[in-house]
A = this chain, B = another copy of it.
Amino acid sequence: MAEKWVLMVTAQTPTNIAVIKYWGKRDENLILPINDSISVTLDPQHLCTTTSVAVSPAFTHDRMWLNGKEISLSGGRYQNCLRELRARASDVEDEEKGIKIAKKDWEKLHVHIASYNNFPTAAGLASSAAGFACLVFSLAKLMNVKEDHSKLSAIARQGSGSACRSLYGGFVKWIMGKEENGSDSIAVQLADEKHWGDLVIIIAVVSSRQKETSSTSGMRETVETSMLIEHRAKEVVPRRIIQMEEAIKDHDFPSFSRLACSDSNQFHAVCLDTSPPIFYMNDTSHRIISCIEKWNRFEGTPQVAYTFDAGPNAVLIAHNRNAAKLLLQRLLFYFPPQSDTDLSSYVIGDKSILEDAGVHNMKDIEALAAPPEVKDNTPAQKYKGDVSYFICTRPGKGPVLLNDETKELLNAETGLPN
């Protein structure tokens, strides 16, 4: 009879975007970086992973489903996370259900994990960061792991480096640490999501036909072959980290923007300095940068910062709602949707920005005027179809437990995916 119970926890974890980039490991297995990094956590309402984890004496082995499809847990990264969590598990008692799990039982009990992203996995939006953060956070809750978020971040780090930064909302620093065992390579919160609530984030998901280099092999090749990466990690990033912390503390958008853009460009520069060279940005990415750079220069002070991860998608951070409105108008002017696209699927997330921009239908997009910074008398070139869609979002909160049973991804009776 005792064999019948299923104990389940469901949690939601955000993704994050680095504004000072992580690129290069000093330890491949423990995932220890060669420099500190700083990120902004994105609002989980628009981009997040939801994970249900369950334990039952009826489970015969650890299993996981990602977006409904069973995947293998045999990889070292999953195994590292599971091992670290089991080692820290505590007694668990659910009086209501009459369940009692002793600390030592966790070594024998198996877990089921179901994870779901509320955004396309293929879009290159750091799904592994949110995914591993959520796996670690939810299992830690299930197993009554009593460590704080910082310690959990060191476990999530072993799943996917940037996952450690998804354990907090707002602005987060991943401290590279010095210890060989990685115990001090942890994430800390610099400021919560309310600290700089004005910022608006628009992500341009860029169409791409290229097969991209995975960030794992990409950063390994950079560390092995780039003649510039060491100088970046040792000389450039440490100064930028200090400056970025100051900029965030002071709400200093010009400095924030300058640092974020420069560091994104330098990350892509060291990718290009890799042998063979790695190209993550494409012509569309370049055009988005040129559009922002021209506008920022025209205004005399930065309105929008851009940053690109290991793919062509642009993450654009607007100073405030007004800048976001003007940004979205520019983006829709240069990158209108294909004629057969539905506007409601072309701009997703926080649609109130679209309202601010005065765009209610496709006609409104066609009617958008060229931005004033386009001073040439030649008509501005448009790139229809080069962006798949836009996501409007903002800085957001960290992981949360979900108590809503309708959000559970595993069946409370069987422990199998719903």
A45 within 8 Å of B by Cβ?
A: no
- Nearest chain B residue, comparing its CB with the CB of A239: B227
Check if A241 is an interface residue, CB within 8 A of chain B.
no
Query: Is the CB of A282 closer than 8 A to any CB of chain B?
Result: yes
Q: Which chain B positions have C-beta within 8 A of A228?
A: 228, 231-232, 236, 266, 269
Asked whether B275 lies within 8 Å of A279 as measured between CB atoms, the reply is no
Return the contact of A275 from the options B265, B273, B277, B283 (Cβ within 8 A).
B265
A285 to B, closest residue via Cβ:
B279
A283 to chain B, nearest CB (A): 5
Contact check, B258 vs A275: say whether CB atoms are below 8 A apart.
yes
User: Which residues from B are CB-within-8-Å of A261?
Assistant: 275
Interface check A262, CB cutoff 8 A: yes
Chain B's nearest CB lies how many Å from the CB of A240?
A: 9
Q: Which residues of B sit under 8 angstroms from A282, Cβ to Cβ? A: 283, 286
Verify if A289 is at the interface (C-beta below 8 Å from B). Answer: yes
Residues of chain B lying within 8 A (CB to CB) of residue A235: 227, 231
Other-chain contact of A262, B265, B268, B275 (Cβ < 8 Å): B275
A247-281 vs B: 1/0 string, CB under 8 Å?
00000000000100110011011101111110100
With known contacts A209-B381, A266-B228, A279–B272 Cβ distance under 8 A: no
| A293 contacts chain B at the CB level, 8 A cutoff | yes
Are A273 and B277 neighbours in the complex by a CB distance under 8 Å? Answer: no
Q: Which residues of A contact B (CB under 8 A)?
A: 209, 225, 227-228, 231-232, 235-236, 258, 261-262, 265-266, 268-270, 272-277, 279, 282-283, 286, 289-290, 293, 297, 381
For the complex of A and B, the 6 pairs showing the least CB-CB separation, nearest first, are: A269-B273, A269-B269, A276-B293, A269-B272, A231-B231, A265-B277
